[in-house]
Structure 1
Amino acid sequence: MDHDRRRLVLDPSSAPEFAAHLAARYVRILLRLQRAMRPGELFLHAAMVASPPGVGDAGRGIAVIGPKRAGKTSTVMAAMLAGAAFVGNDDLSVSRSGAGWTGHGWPRSVSVRSDTFTALGVQLPSWSAHPARTAGPQEQAGEAHPVMLLPSELASLLGSSAVRPSAALTGLVFPRFTPEAGDTALRELTPARTAERLRQERPVQVVKQADFLLPHFPRPPLADAEEAWRAIAADVPGFELVQSFADLPTGARHLRSIWS
C-alpha cells in the first residue's frame, strides 16, 4: 500500500488470471470499510435471498445468519432452487432507510461443498470463470470438496430468478442442522432472543486479510451497534430454522412461509 499516493498496488508476480479477482476484492474491501464508518450500518456473517416472483411482495429479503457450517449456503441454495433470488453469501450489511431495513449483498465468490449439490440433487458444475476453478470437481474417497462459483453462475445453475444487489429485510433466520430426518421446524424467536443471536453472530471485523487498512477507517463505538441490534430485532421477526441436511427442500418451504 502506497500511503502517500493513496494507492493499492498488486504484486506483479501474481498469476495473471487472479489480477482482476484481487482488484475486485480490494475494491469491495475499501467500500465495506467506508460503509462501516456510518453509524447504524451493521455487518453480519450472513447470507440473503429475496422472495420469488409471485410469493408475497416482490423483493422481500430474508437474512440467513450463523457461524461456519450452520447451513447458510445450503439454505440459500435450496431457496434458490425454489425460485428465490440471490443477494449475498457470507457477507451482508444492514442499514435503516425510511421504509425500514435493507440488506446489502457484497459481490464475492461462493464456496459450496460438493456434498451440498448431492443433497439438493444438482449436478456438480464442470467449469467456472473463477480463477481457482477446477476441471470437473469430483467426490474423492467419500469426502466433500469446495467448489468455487461466481454468484451469477450459481444462480444460473439453480435456475434462480435473479442476482439482486439488495433487498428489504423482512426476516432473520438462524439455521442449524439436526441429524434426525423429518425434524425440520421453524420457530419464531422473541425480539430479546433475536437481539442476543445477532450479538453472538456479529463478525469480529468487517474485512479479512486487510488489517493494514483498519486504522484508516475508524468504526463507530460498539454501543451504537448494540442499539442497532435491538432496533432490528424490534422491527424484523427472527426465527430459528432446525433442518436435516437430507431434507433441505423442507427448510426452503419454511422460508416461503415467511415471505407469504
Structure 2
Amino acid sequence: MKEAVNHSWTDSITSADIVISVMVIAALIVLWVSVLLLRVVRFYVKESINPTPFATAEEKEQRRLEEEARRALEKNKPTIWSKLMQLKPIEDEAELVMDHQFDGISELNNPTPAWFMALFYGTIIFGIGYLLNYHVFHYGKSQEEEYVAEVQKAADDKIAFLASPENAASAVNENNIVLSKDAAVLKNGQALFATRCPPCHGDHAQGLVGPNLTDEYWLHGGKIKDVFKTIKYGVPEKGMIAWEKSMSAQQISDIANYVLSLQGTKPAGPKAPQGNKE
C-alpha cells in the first residue's frame, strides 16, 4: 500500500512542474544579481560625478572631533518636556545658586513655569467672572434658584402629563382617586382581583394569609385613598407586594373600588377581624 502511494505521488510530478520550478529559481537569481549590478552602477556614477577625496590623517581627526562636538550639542539640546516644564540642565545648576544659605543649604533661582502661572492667573480671572455673574449682576442662577426652578418644571410637566388624554390611565393617583360604583369599573376590578389577590385574601376576600377585606376593620385605612395607596405601594414588612410595578394606576383604582364594594358581603369562613374599625 505504501509503495503504491509513493508511486502515485511521483507520477503526479511531471516534467513541466520541474521546468517551472527551475525557471522560478533562475528568475530569482537573475533578480538578485540585477540588484547588485544596479548598486554598483549607482556607486560608479556617483563617484564619477563627485569623487570622494582621500582624507589625510589630520583631516580624519578633524572630522572625528567635529562629529563628537555635534553629538555633544545634540545631547545637551533641551527636550520638548524640558522646554514645557522649563527645566534647567544639571550643568547650569551652578549659575542658578542664590547668594544666601540657610543651615548650609543653598537655594536655586528656579522660577515657576510659565504654564503654571498662566493656569494660576486664569483661575483668578475665572473666579472674578464667577463672582460677578452669580453674586453681583445675577446673570446666572444660584444652586437654590436652579433647584426651585427644576422642582417647578417637574410639577408643570406632571400636570401636563396627567392632562393629556393618552395618559388617562396614569392620571389617577392616591391624592385624586374618588370612590366609584360604576358597573364597568367594578367588573374590571373583579377580574383583576380574581387573577392576583386570592392567594392571600381568598376567592371572596374572606382572608387567608392576608386580612379579611369584607369586614369593617382595616390595618392601613379603609378609605378609597388608603386602599389605593396600600395596593400601589404594598406593605413589604407583611408580605404585601407593591403592585405599581405590574399594574397601571387605573387598574389599581378598579381593584380598590371593587374591594370596597365587598363591604358587608359576609363570605363563608371569614378570617377574624384585624386592625381598626372604620
Q: Same fold (TM over 0.5)?
A: no
More relative contact order, 1 or 2 (CA 8 Å, 6+ apart): 1
Larger radius of gyration: 2
Higher strand share: 1
Whose helix fraction is larger, Structure 1's or Structure 2's? 2
User: If the length of structure 2 is used for normalisation, what is the TM-score?
Assistant: 0.17
- Taking structure 1 as the reference length, what is the TM-score of the superposition? 0.18
